[in-house]
Amino acid sequence: MAEDINVLVVDDSALMRKLVSTMVDQTPGLHVVDTAMNGKLALEKIPKLEPDAICLDLEMPEMNGIEFLRERKKRGITIPVIVLSSIAEKGASVTMEALSLGASDFVTKPSGAISVDVAKVKDRVSELLLAYGGKYRRFKKPNAALPPMPGASLPPPHALPEKKIVPLTKPGKVELIAIGISTGGPEALRVVFANLDPDLKVPILVVQHMPAGFTLEFARSLDKICPLEVKEAEEGEMVVPGRILIAEGSKHLEVERVGVGGIVHLSDTPPVSGHKPSADVLFASVALGYRNHALGVIMTGMGRDGAAQIGSIYREGGLTLGQDEKSAIVYGMPRVAFEMGHVMEQVPLSNMGQRISQVAKASHL
């Protein structure tokens, strides 16, 4: 019988503790093992409860969420933390500080305190707790029976369709790298960017599914740990070798090839593949403009965004990489791309930064 993922809810509001607990307990596969009104009490309860995931507010008395994350890191506690806080929306820099201190992801708490408002974020909170809590439980108890993680199971090899796409030409020099990523992305991109080669002289464009108002601070936080420059993309700016541009939250990111360079464009058109920004939109523009001079990378995420159009890069003769099942928090997007025959090589997260650098630099030899 599958074991529920045990969640510790930490919030100073008694009403929010009750509402969030009800929301979590109503999700199949999740169970609230206890609650705490601040970080200090949460730290006291962790050794006894051994939760699989923590749902954390940031604004709390005595020990707030940031202080809790610092102490968690100091004590070597690896239990994944999902931030659910109103300050996440009001203070993007505080949210990014939480991520830099080891929080796995974040959800903005609804403005109201009634159950209908909390219900608006139920699916997202549940998705993250199932994904991160399930991954942690698999690491802690490899043989434990767990509720299925969304998009996690891969059919046996004989069930996979044969690759039907035939590249139109051979790969050329990589002149642009495009990355599509979603659930698990904030944590994964920190690992990838920290391990990129400082001498990598190829522009990188990134679509990370993230709401408006956060990507500017997200880019700044990544810039601190990456040997290359990282910034939020701006309409009409040139792509520059060795610079990473992050798509602005809630706007699509495209690139236009102009002579030997490229210009990025931001658009407010409707969501594609259920997302805005969409990896499919970015990959399609990369395939059109850079053809066999592109490297497409698809990583952890729910659903299938990017899976179809990374195939356009492959079809044009470009190179493609996908994150492997074992290291992905949610093996959804890379799984679909792999099953469609659009991924040339699957790579573990720990090696992704190095592999991207190797592939891009080798193409210039």
Measured distance CA(154)–CA(150) in Å, rounded = 11
**Is 342 a known active-site residue?**
no
Could you give the angle at which helices 122-140 and 14-25 cross, rounded to 10 degrees? 70
- Partners of 36 in beta bridges: 10
- Cβ neighbourhood burial of 309 (10 Å; 0-12, 13-18, 19+): buried
- Smallest CA-to-CA distance from 229 within 249, 245, 210 is with 245
Catalytic hit among 21, 104, 126, 182: 182
**Is 182 a known active-site residue?**
yes
Catalytic hit among 305, 327, 342, 357: 305
Measured distance CA(194)–CA(78) in Å, rounded = 20
**Is 275 a known active-site residue?**
no
- Residue 204: enclosing H or E segment and its boundaries? strand 204-208
Q: Is 149 helix (H, G, I), strand (E, B) or coil?
A: coil
- Residue 100: enclosing H or E segment and its boundaries? helix 92-100
Q: What is the dihedral of CA 113, 115, 119, 125, to 10 degrees?
A: 60
Q: Is 347 helix (H, G, I), strand (E, B) or coil?
A: strand
Catalytic hit among 209, 252, 275, 342: 209
Among all residues, which ones are annotated catalytic?
Answer: 182, 209, 305
